[in-house]
Amino acid sequence: MNFNMIHKLNPVVPAITPEYDPWDPIRSLQRHGKHKLTSVELTVTNLCNMRCEHCAVGETLTMTEGPRIPVDQILRRLDQVEHLETISITGGEPSYHEATVRDYIVPVLKYARERGVRSQINSNLTLSLSRYELLAPYLDVMHISFNYLNADDFHQVGFVRSGRNVARETAAKLYERMVENTIALSRGGMFVSAESMINYRTHEKLPQIHKLIVEMGCRRHEVHPMYPSSFASNLPVLSLDHFRAAIHNLLDHRDPDVWMLFGTLPYYACSQSEEDHRIISRLRKEPNVTVRNDPDGRNRLNVNLFTGDVYVTDFSDVPALGNVHADTLQQVFDRWENHPLNRSVNCHCAAASCCGPNLLVVDTYYKEVDFTRRKAVI
Ligand code: SF4
């Protein structure tokens, strides 16, 4: 199937490019003069066939799960979000059951397409290609994690938390299927965005990981430092110097024709460090490189489709701020606006296009810094 043909049938939506990233909260902040709820993330399952070492939501993964809130009810809640621009679907592995794809995800994606809202799914792409083809006509971004050079890396990382021994051959089959699916979907015209984390395993091999991502035909390589979120809290934490060195090395060796998106970077234009200034300046100048401000706690809420609980992020320790059975998403967003934690990182330097640090970053590296008193210097 050529998915490009399907996209051409719906010419209203602009292409997602380095110049147009609707997930970046700075866009709505610039437009409205304050943060608006433009992005909703839906957790559609807690089931997954993997147990990755770094999984941000690993603690919530289960072996069975009950019924979801009916999709119509969720669409009604989404209808009330006046400035909605993006919907992200996450899990677990959203396509774990084909029925979830058909009966829940596709209706949400159709809704998004009809409303001109952009969509993303976070998937490990290790299951049958036919499930992902069901999504293709309506999906904007297929987001995958890719932190490997080969099946052995995948085997080491992907099943660490499964509590049982997963045979290398089993892991290798899944790895191969993921690679084949990525190639097939990319060839068909799907926008596959592969995310790599900078962590203790990957920081010295990012250029080779990047090469594989480019070879699979991905349109974008996302790169995020890994921070100690609850599930990954036991893993070694890299220093700010290590992250910086890994980013420079990746920039030195990347394919400049492929969009590289950095997110949740721990370097800010208000820093006094010359090394920080050097990396920020470099990132600004590099062609096809963007740095996305962190949507968590800015323009996005996460909804758990089983309990109805609404969170500011799907992985921080901030408890649910409301529930879709009782609250509109706007009411929950308003609650967060006045939350002391939000106030502690709610800064904005327009000249630097920066709207403040991520909560986990502050907690890990900048506990003593009051960002609300700082200003961009470059
Ligand atoms: S918005 Fe906040 S984090 Fe960003 S440069 Fe300004 S003070 Fe620093």
Distance CA 279, CA 267 (A): 8
Does residue 354's CB lie within 6 angstroms of at least one atom of ligand 1? yes
Domain 3-373, CATH: 3.20.20.70
User: How much distance in Å is there from the Cα of 346 to the middle of ligand 1?
Assistant: 9
Compute the half-sphere exposure of residue 376: CA atoms within 13 Å on the CB side of its CA. 17
Quote the tokens at residue 242.
Answer: 């290590």
The residue whose CA is least distant from atom 6 of ligand 1 is 349
Q: How do the domains of the chain map onto residue ranges?
A: 3-373
pLDDT at 2: 55
Q: What is the pTM of this model?
A: 0.94
Which atom in ligand 1 lies closest to the alpha carbon of residue 372?
7
- If one counts every other C-beta atom within 10 angstroms of the C-beta of residue 32, the result is 12
CA-CA distance, 358 to 354, in Å (whole number)?
Answer: 11
Query: With a 6 A CB cut-off, is 376 part of the ligand 1 pocket?
Result: yes
Tokens of 29: 């902040």
Q: Is 237 in the pocket of ligand 1 (CB under 6 A)?
A: no
Work out the mean pLDDT of the chain and round it to a whole number. Answer: 92
Backbone angle region of 22, left / alpha / beta, with phi > 0 → left and psi within -120 to 50 → alpha: alpha
pLDDT digits (tens, 9 = 90+) for 13-25: 899 999 999 999 9
Is the CB of residue 260 less than 8 Å from the CB of residue 289? yes
| Sign for the pseudo-dihedral over CA of 224, 56, 146, 188 | negative
Question: What's the CA-to-centroid distance between 354 and ligand 1, angstroms?
Answer: 6
The pLDDT, as a whole number, for residue 314 is 57
Q: Whose CA is nearest to atom 3 of ligand 1?
A: 356
- Give residue-wise pLDDT tens across range 53-106: 877 666 677 778 889 999 999 999 999 999 999 999 998 999 999 999 999 999
Which residue stretches of 256-302 are H helix?
274-285
Q: Which helix (H) or strand (E) covers residue 144, if one does?
A: strand 141-145
d(CA 123, CA 93): 6
22 lines ligand 1 (CB under 6 A): no
According to the model, what pLDDT value does residue 50 have?
84
User: What SS3 string covers 354-366?
Assistant: ECCCCHHHHHHHC
Q: Ligand 1 center to residue 82 CA distance, Å?
A: 28
Q: Is 110 in the pocket of ligand 1 (CB under 6 A)?
A: no
Q: Residue 234 has what pLDDT?
A: 78
Q: Give pLDDT tens digits for 230-266.
A: 666 778 889 999 999 999 999 999 999 999 999 999 9
**Cβ(295) to ligand 1 under 6 A?**
no
The answer to whether the CB of 75 is under 6 A from ligand 1 is no
Distance 263 CA to ligand 1 centre (A): 15
Contacts of 77 (CB under 8 A, 6+ apart): 303, 324, 328, 329
